Chain A
Amino acid sequence: MGKYLRRKIIIYLLTFFFAVTIDWVIPRFMPGDPIRTLLSRAAMRTEAMDLLYNYYNKVFSLDLPLWKQYVNFWFSLFKGDLGTSVYLFPSPVFEVIKRAVPYDILLLVPAILLSWIAGNKFGAFAARKKRLDNTILPIWYVITATPYMWLGILLAWVFGVVLGIFPISGAYSFSMSPSLSWEFIWDYLKHWILPFGSLFIVQLGGWAIGMRNMIIYELESEYSRYMEAMGAPAKLIRKYAFRNAVLPQITGLALQLGVIVAGALATEVVFSYPGIGYLLLQGILNGDYFLIQGCFLFIILGVLIANFFIDIIYVIVDPRVRRGMSGETA
């Protein structure tokens, strides 16, 4: 168990190191001098130009040797200094992102967990009968091939415009301000349901297919056949098959996180939902590179932390890993 987790942690630390390095390297060595582009976009007046130029020079410290620039970058990172947003000038990027993150968490965590659980249940259920399997499988394939934002557009159009039941923009009404009143929570939930729905549905298809394939494989395996021959009730066999099939699904969850996050970014854009995805779009449209870089780091950090949680759960769930009998599969 210790070995398994240690291996994983090393990979995560290396990944973080790699990500921060990319975040530092790309703006410096990209063709076209991004810093000058940054300036030309930010500078509206000539007197502000000098000020900004000095500021960027200090932040990027271009007069220092490269290795020192790199070390400085790490230091400012640990102080939580990610630069200043151009789009929401003078707010520091860190503050801007900090305001957006809760919306992401409240949207993503329920969508991921619920779709994973529901997908596994549905998948295991549908694999039982050939006829049911044959009719429902095509539906899963279509669902999982749907681009997140397009399902978002469809839901927004049907429920927001045609039926007019749900609002389709923002996380709460303009007339409200975030507070812990019932009124606000109700308003928040009404805005939350459509983006949640599009994330939930698209993921559902993938999990159901994965579970279906695994459970068919498990039901054909030796131990299932043996139990069948011994006259064990079908329900018990299915229960054991499900337990074994769930393990690869947990690993699958870790592998899928990046794709899900990308889907969430696009979904937020559809619904103008004030999470990181929406910030990112604004950053891109406004040429706010600090904001883009900050979002990049936050997304990676989030995915790494989530991966780590999944690893711990995997260790708890799989007795073989827990007792150190395997773990090379990391």
Chain B
Amino acid sequence: MKFRKSEILFFALRNTKLRIGVFIVALFAFLAIFGPYFAKYEPQDFAGPGYNPPSGEYWLGTTTFGRDVFSQFVYGLRSTFLVGFVGGSIATFIGLFVGFLSGYKGGLADELLMMFTNIVLVIPTMALLIILAAYLKYRGVFLESVFIGFTAWPWTARAVRSQTLSLKTREFVNLARITGMKPLKIIVVEILPNMLSYVFMVFILQFGGAILTAATLDFIGLGPTQGISLGLMMQQAVLWNAIQLGMWWWAVPPGIAITAIVGAMYFMNTGLDEVFNPKLREM
């Protein structure tokens, strides 16, 4: 086991895709954690004159109302990572739970759970989120993440289910069953460890997906009512005609950050795939 771990670490450190992905995500995470300490203003403060392009005083310029774009950006990054982490974790957890249960139990439980999964899968997540968010008067970033987590799990559940189905017929699982192990223990002790690499990759994809969903939700006006986020910045920029006025410093940076973070996540995912799957390594 020890040998295997160091072997994976060896390939992980050597994988260029993984290294690039981790580097970019770490860079933005660093900005999100420490950026607010460098920001000279609060995100909603009226820092100075409006319409200012980037300068030494206002690093990313100011909005129409004279708010400092850099401050909004770094605080917005924090929300982005929070949404990704909370939403991604919840979606992964529910997906795992439903997938394991349905795959391992089989029968009627499987039939019903998959029926439910397929229903949630067909309903556009965004539509569901819209109707939920529209009727809530006060929304925070955390609540938004929870909602996203509760709607993003179906594809994970289906994927985990089919993996469980194939693992369940293996000999070591049969052996565990014969020795009278409880189903939950079999899932946790025998099946889960064999899927750990896969689960980790699912989490990364859900992390990125939650960020994109949150950005869209914020953009169409259902984002957090308090606080700031990257999607909210873009929405305000568009609503106040930043494009027509040529204020690129307001509308462009939030999107760069989202694209870079989510793209880096996808990159990490492919890299990890190569690390965990020896067949793909030479590529």
Chain A residues with CB under 8 Å of chain B are: 11-12, 14-15, 18-19, 22-23, 26-27, 30, 32, 34, 37, 130, 137-138, 141-142, 144-151, 153-154, 156-157, 160-162, 168, 255, 257-259, 261-263, 265-266, 269-270, 277, 280-281, 284-285, 289, 292-293, 295-296, 299-300, 303-304, 307, 330
Contact = CB atoms under 8 A, between A and B. Distances in A.
Given A153-B237, A168-B244, A277-B220, A142 B263 contact: yes
Nearest to A288: B134
Given A141-B267, A149-B234, A266-B216, A261 B122 contact: no
A34 B263 CA distance: 39
B124 interface: yes
A141 B259 CA distance: 9
A255 B155 contact: yes
Contacts of B26: none
Contacts of B222: 284
B108 interface: no
B238 A14 contact: no
Interface of B: 115, 118-119, 121-128, 130-132, 134-137, 155, 208, 212-213, 215-216, 219-222, 231, 234-235, 237-238, 243-244, 246, 248, 251-252, 254-255, 258-263, 265-267, 270, 283
A18 B119 contact: yes
Contacts of A12: 122
B220 A141 contact: no
A30 B155 contact: no
A78 to B, nearest CB: 20
Contact of A157 (B126, B215, B231, B248): B248
Contacts of B267: 138, 141
Contacts of B155: 255
Max chain A Cβ within 10 angstroms of own Cβ: one of B118, B254, B261: B118
Contacts of B248: 157
A14 B213 CA distance: 25
B255 A153 contact: yes
Given A32-B136, A146-B255, A266-B220, 5 more contacts: A142-B259, A153-B252, A261-B127, A263-B216, A266-B216
B123 A300 contact: yes
22 contacts: A18-B123, A26-B132, A26-B135, A130-B283, A145-B261, A147-B216, A147-B234, A148-B216, A150-B215, A150-B254, A153-B255, A161-B246, A259-B126, A261-B127, A265-B126, A269-B220, A269-B235, A281-B220, A284-B221, A292-B134, A295-B130, A296-B127
Contact of B124 (A11, A154, A161, A262): A262
Contacts of B261: 145
Contacts of A168: 243-244
B124 A15 contact: no
Contacts of A149: 215-216, 219, 234, 238, 255
A11 B49 CA distance: 56
B130 A270 contact: no
Nearest to A292: B134
Given A141-B263, A280-B220, A258 B208 contact: no
Contacts of A299: 124, 126-127
B98 to A, nearest CB: 16
Contact of B212 (A30, A130, A147, A261): A147
Nearest to A169: B244
B229 to A, nearest CB: 12
B243 A157 contact: yes
A37 B208 CA distance: 35
Contacts of B137: 32, 37
A111 B171 CA distance: 48
A300 B124 contact: yes
Contacts of B131: 22-23, 26, 292-293, 296
A145 B266 contact: yes
Contacts of A14: 115, 119
A154 B252 CA distance: 7
Nearest to B283: A130
A190 B122 CA distance: 33
A19 B122 CA distance: 10
A225 to B, nearest CB: 14
Contact of A30 (B135, B234, B246): B135
B243 to A, nearest CB: 5
